[in-house]
Amino acid sequence: MEKVNHAFEKVKMLVGIEVEDEESEGAAASENSSSFAFMDDFNRQCTLSTKQSLLVFFNPIKFGITFTFGNLLSLGSTAFLIGPKRQVTMMLDPVRIYATALYLASIIIALFCALYVHNKLLTLIAIILEFGALIWYSLSYIPFARTMVSKVMVACFDTEF
């Protein structure tokens, strides 16, 4: 039983719950705390270490697999919400057919590079391609968003004065 309590305390510490004497703090602590203290705790709990934030560079294969499966889950979740037939119909709409093809191809390339090739540089490039394709695909659902982004990019990188 002591091992279970010890494991439970470790889980609490990982989640960010104070282990020491939570029950006695109760209502008095909630009255004395302010919104600034809440935000301080929130910011402290939501920070990443340098190694965690640079996971994509330390282990791009692992990141590529999780990122790609996350994208597949998000496609599955929208199919669950609006129905698979409507999802496929919307994806194959002539307005976004190229964005869909690029997005699905980038998902396949990222999985291929991560699972079969095992090359960190190719996987990193595939992740960047997949991220760009995800943005372009997402912009296809907003009217005139791709046109606006294209014009802004041309204006930013135009070399003529």
Alpha-carbon span 44 to 39, nearest angstrom: 8
Are 37 and 83 contained in the same domain? no
Are 95 and 128 contained in the same domain? yes
Count of domains for the chain = 2
Are 67 and 43 contained in the same domain? no
Question: Would you state the pLDDT for residue 18?
Answer: 63
The alpha carbon of residue 65 and the mean position of all alpha carbons in its chain are separated, in whole angstroms, by: 12
Domain that holds residue 8: 2-47
Q: At what angle do helices 120-139 and 60-82 cross, to 10 degrees?
A: 30
DSSP calls for 103-155:
HHHHHHHHHHIIIII--HHHHHHHHHHHHHHHHHHHHTTSTTHHHHHHHHHHH
Are 74 and 110 contained in the same domain? yes
Are 36 and 103 contained in the same domain? no
Taking the CA atoms of the chain, what radius of gyration do you get in angstroms? 23
Are 65 and 12 contained in the same domain? no
Are 15 and 66 contained in the same domain? no
Amino acid at 123: T
| One pLDDT digit (tens) per residue for the chain, 161 residues | 677 677 667 766 665 666 554 444 444 444 444 556 766 777 777 777 777 767 777 788 888 999 999 999 999 999 999 999 999 999 999 999 999 999 999 999 999 999 999 998 999 999 999 999 999 999 999 999 999 999 999 988 887 76
Are 85 and 6 contained in the same domain? no
